[in-house]
Structure 1
Amino acid sequence: MMTMTLEMASDLAEHAHRGQHDKAGRPYVEHVFAVRDLLAEHGEHAQMAGVLHDVLEDTPLTADELRRHGCPDEVVAVVESVTRRRGEPYEETIHRAAAHPLGRLVKLADNAHNSDEDRLAALPAEQAERLRDKYARAREVLEDAAPIPGHDPVTHDYGPGNRHWGHDYSFTPADGGHRGSATGWGRGIHKGDYLLLANGDRATRYRVVTIRYYTDPSDMWQAQLAFAPRERVQA
């Protein structure tokens, strides 16, 4: 099987979106091409995910069909991370995209083009204002999830056998365990770090998407977490 190139991904997106139009009546493929071009500095896989970012949501194509077309697994995973699932609130989609390093960049590019004032000006004023607010709130979540410059991620062990286990944090899973929120005690955890959380006799690794510390008590924190695949470790 031939591995998909950016040109092939663009051709597939053009074919998949043929006949579709955006809210202003423009051919929808113009949007996905614009998102692709906004991601040029982030490499070919980012651009491929950008041009394909809506095919799973808005066309009959499936993730398995993308793979059969030769789309790299990494690109498929990014597209899945930004795809709104049936019945899923928009805010949950944004948080899931924010938890994926490359998915966050794709969603930011999508947001930037959707927020373009030239595009919004073609819509009724009330609809344009509603969309400005929607995209601004999404952009805040996506930007807040950016890694801290110069900070090397640290793994904090809350697994079985660790002194934290069982009493120093609580975890509420969401999206089938692919993300969740945690509250705990202690200092030194930063956005972009990893938490090893107890899961029976094992520990599951999550990335810290956002974290805030309380002022009272000062060592209590609350974090939004994303499951970090490829790292399920024996405690």
Structure 2
Amino acid sequence: MTQGKDRDLRDAALELARKAHARQVDKLGVPYTEHVRAVASAVAHLGLNFEIVGLLHDSLEDCTDRSLVSMEILTERFGSEIAEAVAAMTKQPHEDYDTQYLPRVMSNPIAAAVKRADVAHNKSRLHLLDPTARSRLAAKYSGFVTRFGDA
């Protein structure tokens, strides 16, 4: 019984991620859902909530259609623990990345694990980027590793 419910929640999260990131591609032109699936896969061993947050970790920040994704929708469909972890991973426009955003992310155990997986996935693809983007992102991820340990 629980396996079926878990599968339904995972499937619902994947479908929501697909809708939230429809027609979005990463810096390499790859459908963005491949990134969230990779992050979710990296944390799946930690439990279903981690996997779902991995699938949805960029949905609030990157989806402009609030009829698809909002805190209310996430809470209703997946519960407050998942919604709060996704919110913790959502950088606000006014936030400084290093002094405000990252400390907030790292204060939520699920968000912290997913952020580590997110950084690890992004770092693993740096060699595929153009030199300018590679340099900028390498510095960003290096700062993360310096403060919070290897991803």
TM-score (normalizing by structure 1)? 0.56
Distance 1:124 1:134 in 2: 15
Report the CA distance between 1:122 and its aligned residue: 2.5
Is 1:63–1:76's contact at 8 Å kept on the other side of the alignment?
yes
- Which of the residues 31, 38, 51 maps onto 1:34? 38
Q: Does 1:77 align with 2:81?
A: no
Deviation of 1:121 after TM superposition, in Å, equals 2.4
Unaligned ranges ≥5, structure 2: none
Which residue identity does 1:30 align to in structure 2? Answer: E
Which is greater in Rg? Answer: 1
Is the 1:95–1:142 Cα contact (8 Å) retained in structure 2? no
Contact 1:98 1:141 (C-alpha < 8 Å) held by counterparts: no
Q: Does structure 1 residue 138 correspond to structure 2 residue 144?
A: yes
Q: After TM superposition, where is structure 1 displaced by more than 2 Å over at least 4 residues in a row? A: 139-144
Is residue 45 from structure 1 mapped to residue 49 from structure 2 by the alignment? yes
Partner of 1:86: 93
* Higher RCO (CA-CA < 8 Å; seq separation 6+): 2
Q: Counterparts of 2:88 and 2:16 in 1: how far apart (Å)?
A: 19
Deviation at 1:67, TM superposition (A): 2.4
Give how far 1:100 is off. 1.3
Shift of 1:103: 1.2
| Structure 2 CA distance for aligned equivalents of residues 123 and 14 of structure 1 | 24
Q: Could you say which structure has the higher strand fraction?
A: 1
2-structure distance, mates of 1:111, 1:27: 18
> 1:139, CA displacement in angstroms?
2.5
Q: Number of matched residues?
A: 140
Aligned to 1:172: none
Q: Do residues 19 (structure 1) and 23 (structure 2) align?
A: yes
1:48-98 CA-to-partner distances (Å, cap 9, x unmatched) read 001100000000321112223x11211111111111012211112111111
Q: Give the aligned CA root-mean-square deviation in angstroms.
A: 1.8
Q: Counterparts of 1:1-235 in structure 2 under 5 Å?
A: 5-60=9-64, 61-68=69-76, 70-91=77-98, 92-116=100-124, 119-143=125-149
| 1:16–1:55 Cα contact (<8 Å) kept | yes
- State the alpha-carbon separation in 1 of the partners of residues 146 and 32 from structure 2: 25
Amino acid at match of 1:120: L
Q: Which runs of 5+ in 1 are unaligned?
A: 145-235
